[in-house]
Amino acid sequence: MPGFGGVGLQLETPNRDSPTRDLRDHLPSLMSSSYPITLKFIDVCYKVKIQQTNTRGRSIKRMFTHGSTPSDLISTIQEKTILNNITGVVSPGEILAILGPSGSGKSTLLNALAGRHQQQSRAFSGTILANNKKSTKQIAKRTGFVTQDDVLYPHLTVRETLVFCSLLRLPKTLTKKDKISVAEMVLSELGLSKCENTIIGNSFIRGISGGERKRVSIAHEMLVNPSLLILDEPTSGLDSTAAFRLVSTLGSLAQKGKTIVTSMHQPSSRVYQMFDSVLVLSEGRSIYFGKGSEAMAYFESLGFSPSFPMNPADFLLDLANGIKREHLEGGGASISPAT
């Protein structure tokens, strides 16, 4: 294995009684947020132009067999609205969950919130404010983004991965020893100590589990102590226990003053209960934004309630998918107007 020799790193196995503990005292508190961020997003829209080619009524087969000329094809540009006037707010200490079916716009919204659409400003409109001000470089530096598809080096161990990133990402003002200590603190805060010497691995090389891998991705972002942590589907591929553990970890980060925004496909009911607020997207529109605990009552007031007790997240997803009673007859849950 290549290891770190090439970049001049010495990775000693940590000695529990030595330097790390002392360094904790003089390093800035890593897990607490020194710069709390309240994130507001108002009327966020995202539109893309899609080129559609029309065959002027000729069948594709005929065009292949008889050949086609450019005049047979008409190209039209159509505008597709991916996000339509999405508004919400999330404060330090809170977890905002963005729920919705596949293709409803969750990742697009997260990218917008993380300031990743700013370059293509014609497609994006709306206002995103951090502490009531337009995002600055300072805010961008304080934002961590955990993508759906993490890119980790498969041959490195968990500890090597975090130490390597720590040395690359932390400011020059910290010594090498301090940077290694930061990596070790994150490692233990994210519950990765047990697998610190296991390699990351990939589909060909056996390595850490899916849940541990997600934790490494989060740890990777935690190294720079972000105040705002945005996560795209951090529980995808995890069983419900591992998903619960991971969201519990997010909960404890929120308790330390971080602002957490996460998208989630199918949270279990106990995971759902950990969300402070939820935003439900359906085809790019917001059908609910508010406290997670009040979502069921809100839809009941509109005349929709499940006919038997069910996971609120499943109920909201059914609504976002536009599932009505008639589509569910004969099985599954039925969402019926409340009597």
Ligand X SMILES: Nc1ncnc2c1ncn2[C@@H]1O[C@H](COP(=O)(O)OP(=O)(O)OP(=O)(O)O)[C@@H](O)[C@H]1O
Residue ranges in contact with ligand X by CB under 6 A: 48, 50, 80, 82, 100, 102-108, 265
Ramachandran region, residue 3 (left: φ > 0; alpha: ψ -120 to 50; beta: rest): left
- Closer by beta carbon to ligand X, 48 or else 338: 48
Backbone angles phi, psi at 106, to 5 degrees: -60, -50
For residue 122, the Cα-to-chain-centroid distance in whole angstroms is 24
Please give the DSSP secondary-structure letter assigned to residue 321.
T
Shortest CB 243 distance to ligand X, Å: 15
- Closer by beta carbon to ligand X, 20 or else 104: 104
Separation of first and last alpha carbons in the chain: 66
Report helix, strand or coil for 200. coil
Shortest CB 46 distance to ligand X, Å: 8
Backbone angles phi, psi at 53, to 5 degrees: -110, 130
Among candidates 98, 95, 117, which has minimal Cα distance to 257? 95
Could you tell me the two tokens for 28? Answer: 């800035």
Could you tell me the two tokens for 85? Answer: 């006037």
- Closer by beta carbon to ligand X, 47 or else 155: 47
Rounded to whole angstroms, how far apart are CA atoms 152 and 169? 15
- Closer by beta carbon to ligand X, 265 or else 285: 265
Shortest CB 19 distance to ligand X, Å: 43
- Closer by beta carbon to ligand X, 49 or else 56: 49
Q: Which residues pair with 84 in a beta bridge?
A: 285
Shortest CB 61 distance to ligand X, Å: 28
Rounded to whole angstroms, how far apart are CA atoms 265 and 217? 18
Shortest CB 193 distance to ligand X, Å: 31
Q: Which residues pair with 261 in a beta bridge?
A: 96, 230
Report helix, strand or coil for 252. helix
Shortest CB 288 distance to ligand X, Å: 15
Shortest CB 118 distance to ligand X, Å: 15
- Closer by beta carbon to ligand X, 115 or else 207: 115
- Closer by beta carbon to ligand X, 105 or else 144: 105
Report helix, strand or coil for 165. helix
